[in-house]
């Protein structure tokens, strides 16, 4: 039995279907339109660009960000044709940052596929990322709204700042919690916020509603990234679709590391300084890191923190008119924290 069939059965039974899957099902015709837009706009006269773009499309991914644009627009009865173009734009910006992030991190697997730079070379990844980024701006210009251009060019600059912040924090165990929040706010939550906000713009929503959707996206993004950081130490590898422990091996400063370091005794501090601070790691160190985290209930502590952002996201939705999509967005905020992928 194919996994898609299993999913369809789960849908039919109404059992074990996540709110995210329900939103995907509800917005399937919209997502199909976005995917068609993505395919149409990713092509280039330069075959290598089209090939890498196709490779990335086949990798798929959750398409969470364009889904947020669609949901925001649907929840406010917006102009869906504009939403399709902008949702594609948001996904292009995200894909460009992934391509550049993969080059930067020298990570080797993402979404369960080899990353593009291993297949096509670092050089092509940088340049195709630049192409997708430029193409995103071409799509925005075609949309013709300076407001969406402002929102997404601001988000793009903030993302780059967040990535540089992350680079600077690498291996620095003394990083403050506020600095960590600033970094994931820039690296991840800014695009979640922008994705939601442009959905409000194409709905000619009031400034207050536009702000509410921005804030929903931002808090959701923080919750999502924090949960992602936790999953890197806690997830089952097959479900995550990437290797557990990547962040550990790269010496990334993330929520579980900062929480564990704050609670560490002298021996544990030495452990973190050696493995994260100086990057001196042996085979058993990841298991050891997980044991230390387990001893201090770090994952549960982190999940509780992430949940507080999910709740903030839910509160931001209050001014929106009641709708099925609003209800699903509400549930998704809780879901992104407790997901196991």
Binding site for a copy of itself (CB under 8 A): 44-49, 96-97, 100, 103-104, 122-124, 126-128, 130-131, 133-135, 137-138, 140-141, 144, 146, 149-150, 153-154, 156-157, 159-161, 163-165, 167-168
d(CA 143, CA 149): 9
Q: Which is nearer to a copy of itself, 67 or 136 (CB)?
A: 136
Number of H helices, E strands in the chain: 19, 2
Nearer to a copy of itself, 121 or 241 (CB): 121
Minimum gap (Å) between residue 54 Cβ and a copy of itself: 14
- Beta-bridge partner residues of 113: 110
Distance CA 54, CA 65 (A): 19
Query: Which residue is it, tokens 């992430």?
Result: 306
Least CB distance to a copy of itself at residue 150 (A): 5
* Cβ nearer to a copy of itself, comparing 152 with 259: 152
Residue 233 · residue 299 · CB < 8 Å: yes
Q: Least distance (Å) from a copy of itself to the CB of residue 179? A: 11
- The CB-of-283 to a copy of itself minimum distance in angstroms stands at 26
Q: At what angle do helices 47-59 and 28-42 cross, to 10 degrees?
A: 160
Least distance (Å) from a copy of itself to the CB of residue 277?
18
Query: Nearer Cβ to a copy of itself, position 25 or 170?
Result: 170
**Shorter beta-carbon distance to a copy of itself: residue 131 or 272:** 131
Cβ 32 to a copy of itself shortest distance, Å: 25
Query: How far apart are the C-alpha atoms of 30 and 27, rounded to whole Å?
Result: 5
Shortest Å distance, C-beta 41 to a copy of itself: 10
- DSSP H or E stretch at residue 114: strand 113-114
Smallest distance, a copy of itself to C-beta of residue 264, A: 28
Sign, CA dihedral 83-87-93-94, equals positive
Distances (CA, A) of 174 to 13, 34, 291: 49, 43, 21
Tokens 């839910």: give the residue.
314
Residue with smaller CB distance to a copy of itself, 79 or 307: 79
CA dist 69 and 77 (Å) reads 12
Return the structure tokens found at 216: 């929903």
- CA distance linking residue 57 with residue 55, whole number of Å: 5
Q: Minimum CB separation from a copy of itself for residue 48, in Å?
A: 5
Closer residue to a copy of itself in complex, CB, 159/226: 159
Nearer to a copy of itself, 82 or 100 (CB): 100
DSSP 14: T
Residue 60 DSSP label:
-
- Residue 113 or 182: which CB sits closer to a copy of itself? 182
Q: Which helix (H) or strand (E) holds 44?
A: none
Residue among 87, 121, 225, 213 nearest 165 (CA)? 225
Task: Report DSSP state, residue 241.
Answer: S
Cβ neighbours of residue 105 closer than 8 Å, sequence gap 6 or more: 246, 250
């Amino acid at each position: 039995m194919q996994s898609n069939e299993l999913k369809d059965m789960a849908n039919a039974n109404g059992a074990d279907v996540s709110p995210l899957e329900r939103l995907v099902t509800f917005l399937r015709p919209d997502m199909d339109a976005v995917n068609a837009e993505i395919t149409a706009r990713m092509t280039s006269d330069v075959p290598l660009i089209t090939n890498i773009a196709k490779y990335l499309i086949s990798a798929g991914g959750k398409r969470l960000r364009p889904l947020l644009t669609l949901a925001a627009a649907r929840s406010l009865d917006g102009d869906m044709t504009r939403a399709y173009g902008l949702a594609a734009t948001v996904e292009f910006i995200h894909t460009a940052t992934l391509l550049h992030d993969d080059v930067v991190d020298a990570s080797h697997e993402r979404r369960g596929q080899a990353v593009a730079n291993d297949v096509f070379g670092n050089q092509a990844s940088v340049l195709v990322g630049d192409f997708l980024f430029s193409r995103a701006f071409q799509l925005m210009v075609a949309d013709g709204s300076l407001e969406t251009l402002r929102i997404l060019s601001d988000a793009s600059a903030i993302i780059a700042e967040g990535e540089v912040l992350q680079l600077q924090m690498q291996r620095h165990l003394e990083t403050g919690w506020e600095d960590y929040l600033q970094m994931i706010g820039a690296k991840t939550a800014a695009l979640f916020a922008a994705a939601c906000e442009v959905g409000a713009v194409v709905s000619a929503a009031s400034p207050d509603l536009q702000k509410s959707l921005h804030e929903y996206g931002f808090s959701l993004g923080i919750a999502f990234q924090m949960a992602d950081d936790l999953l890197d130490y806690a997830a089952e590898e097959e479900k995550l679709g990437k290797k557990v422990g990547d962040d550990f091996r790269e010496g990334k400063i993330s929520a579980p590391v900062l929480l564990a370091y704050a609670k560490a005794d002298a021996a544990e501090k030495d452990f973190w300084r050696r493995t994260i601070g100086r990057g001196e790691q042996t085979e058993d160190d990841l298991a050891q890191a997980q044991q230390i985290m387990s001893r201090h209930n770090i994952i549960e502590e982190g999940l509780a923190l992430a949940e507080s952002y999910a709740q903030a996201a839910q509160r931001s939705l209050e001014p929106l008119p009641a709708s099925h999509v609003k209800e699903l967005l509400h549930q998704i905020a809780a879901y992104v924290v407790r997901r196991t992928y």
